[in-house]
Structure 1
Amino acid sequence: MQKWESIKVLSNLAITSEYFLQVTLDKYGKVLSSDSGIGPVPSLFDHKEKPVHFSDCFLASDWSKYENQRIKAWKNSHQSFLVDLQKINHPNENTTLTKWEFFFISNDHGTCLGLGHPIEPLRPYNLGLGEFIDGTTNGNELVDILLENKLLGFWDFDPSTKTDYISSGLAQMLGYSEEEILRLKNISWQKHIHPDDYTSLFRDLALHFKTTGNLPFRKEFRIVSKGNLISWVIGYGKTTKWDEQGWPLKVQGLLIDITEKKKQEIWLREHHYFLRDLAFQQSHSLRARVANILGVLEILDIEPQSPESRKLLDILKTESKQLDEALKKSIKESVDQNKSWERGIGST
Structure 2
Amino acid sequence: MGLNFSFIKSLHRASPVAVGAMDMVKDEIIYSSGHAEKILGYSKEELKKHSKNYFESIVHPDDKQKSREAISKLMESDVGEIIECTLRVKKSGGKYLTLLIRDIVFDRDDENSPVKFTTIVQDVSDVVALENKLNEKLEVIRKISYKNSHELRAPVANIIGLMSLMKEESFKTEFNAKIFNHLEETVAKLDEIIHDINNLSNT
Question: Which of 106, 109, 119 is 1:253 aligned to?
Answer: 119
Residue correspondence of structure 1 range 77-156 to structure 2 within 5 A:
114-117=9-12, 119=14, 150-151=16-17, 153-156=18-21
Work out the CA distance in 2 between the residues paired with 1:257 and 1:219. 12
Give the structure 2 partner of residue 263 of structure 1: 129
1:155 maps to a residue whose letter is G
Q: 1:123-176: per-residue Cα shift (whole Å, max 9, x none)?
A: xxxxxxxxxxxxxxxxxxxxxxx6xxx43x333233455433452733464443
Matched, 1:290 2:156: yes
Matched, 1:331 2:171: no
Give the structure 2 partner of residue 158 of structure 1: 23
**Is the Cα contact below 8 Å between 1:283 and 1:331 reproduced in 2?**
yes
Give the structure 2 partner of residue 240 of structure 1: 106
1:202 maps to a residue whose letter is R
**Richer in helix (by share):** 2
2:87 maps to a residue whose letter is F
Higher relative contact order (CA 8 A, sep 6+): 2
Across the aligned residues of Structure 1 and Structure 2, the Cα RMSD in angstroms comes to 4.0
- Aligned pair count? 197
**TM-score between both structures, scaled by the size of structure 1:** 0.44
Q: 1:192-234: per-residue Cα shift (whole Å, max 9, x none)?
A: 2212222223324433443414542222221102321211221
Give the structure 1 partner of residue 85 of structure 2: 219
Work out the CA distance in 2 between the residues paired with 1:231 and 1:210. 28
Question: Which of 201, 205, 208 is 2:67 aligned to?
Answer: 201
Work out the CA distance in 2 between the residues paired with 1:291 and 1:207. 57
**Is the Cα contact below 8 Å between 2:99 and 2:124 reproduced in 1?**
yes
Work out the CA distance in 2 between the residues paired with 1:202 and 1:306. 77
**TM-score between both structures, scaled by the size of structure 2:** 0.69
User: Could you tell me how far 1:301 is from its partner in structure 2?
Assistant: 4.1
Work out the CA distance in 1 between the residues paired with 2:105 and 2:169. 83
Work out the CA distance in 2 between the residues paired with 1:334 and 1:304. 42
Identity %: 22
3-state SS in 2 of match to 1:164: strand
**Is the Cα contact below 8 Å between 2:13 and 2:33 reproduced in 1?**
no
3-state SS in 1 of match to 2:10: strand
